[in-house]
Amino acid sequence: MSSRRAHPLLVVFALLATPAAASACPDCATARAARASVFDEDFGRNLLTALAPFLVIGLVTATAYRSGSRRAPTNPTGDAR
């Protein structure tokens, strides 16, 4: 890649990597309303709802892993005993 070509690509990457949230106001009316709707009395239920798929996948994976470890070890040499 030539150096002429690298410079515009770096500029494009820098623009795309800059987070849009950096220009958001942290204490405007919309931000306060959003925080109030997230951290309300249903926070625990909402958190559990968001984490439930990860808990289920973890439980299924752990069960599959533990059931696979109970098999009798195989003979690596291939000799019949």
Domain assignment present for 59: yes
Query: Considering its fold, how many domains does the chain have in total?
Result: 1
User: For 31-78, how does the pLDDT look when each residue is reduced to its tens digit (9 = 90+)?
Assistant: 888 888 888 898 999 899 999 999 999 999 999 988 876 656 667 676
In a domain, 58, yes or no: yes
Which has more confidence, 68 or 18? Answer: 68
Inside any domain, residue 23: no
Is 2 a member of any domain? no
More confident residue, 13 or 29: 29
Is 30 contained in some domain? no
Residue 1 predicted with pLDDT over 80: no
Asked if pLDDT for residue 19 goes beyond 70, the answer is no
Domain that holds residue 60: 42-69
65 found inside a domain:
yes
User: Is the residue at 14 inside a domain?
Assistant: no
Instruction: Return the residue matching tokens 């973890």.
Output: 58
Q: Is residue 57 part of a domain?
A: yes
Contact 39, 45 (CB under 8 A): no
State residue 60's pLDDT score.
Answer: 95
